A and B are shown apart, each in its own frame.
Chain A
């Protein structure tokens, strides 16, 4: 099974900051990577697919990049609504696996 490792586990930031979350795969997954945002008590929401494809309705301050084994999610000019937990997920093959999550908290 492919292991997904996210870092950091927790990230403290302020409104207006730019933050970057990293996701590493234990083997190459090409660009078969998605990013999700989850708020407490809610289901995850898809932000980015195929490593860099922004989903419709997702603000342009979110950006995904990378391929192979290393990927990043960058959020420019943080807004209050962005404080949440973020997960990466590979879909290169079965089983899909998620990273352990990055909790983005307000400094």
Chain B
């Protein structure tokens, strides 16, 4: 079964940093663009951006550009979301997800990781 399993997240103070990991099983991450999506409490889905299969290209939406960084270790079949300068409005469940191809729909998704930014 193709799966994405997330870890990391938690409670962090405003201005702090946090990293979420996303491990793939049942398929090789190295063949796919990967996306990050978040969902604030009681709100809809916000696509944050994506990273090319070989890590050579990344797209960030404006709300996280310059603060969040996507990286990947294809040898370890893993994806990472590094978050810096966190704000209260970054409080959300964060999902990693696989893109079918270049500029594509998203499936499967990780189970989600809660990030809470609060003092």
* Chain B residues closer than 8 Å to A96, beta-carbon distance: 35, 47, 106
Which one of B44, B47, B105 lies within 8 Å of A95 (CB-CB)?
A: B47
Within 8 A of B (CB), among A49-67: 49-50, 55
Contact call A46/B106, Cβ cutoff below 8 A: yes
Q: Which residue of A lies closest to B104 (CB)?
A: A91
Interface size, A (range): 20 to 34
Q: Which residue of A lies closest to B110 (CB)?
A: A43
- In the complex, whether B9 has a CB less than 8 A from a CB of chain A is no
Within 8 A of B (CB), among A71-94: 87, 89, 91-94
Given A34-B105, A34-B106, A100-B44, check contact A95 B61 (CB 8 Å).
Answer: yes
Contact call A99/B44, Cβ cutoff below 8 A: yes
Expressed in whole angstroms, the Cα–Cα distance for A46 and B46 within the complex equals 16
| A residues neighboring B (CB under 8 Å) | 32, 34, 36, 38, 42-46, 49-50, 55, 87, 89, 91-101
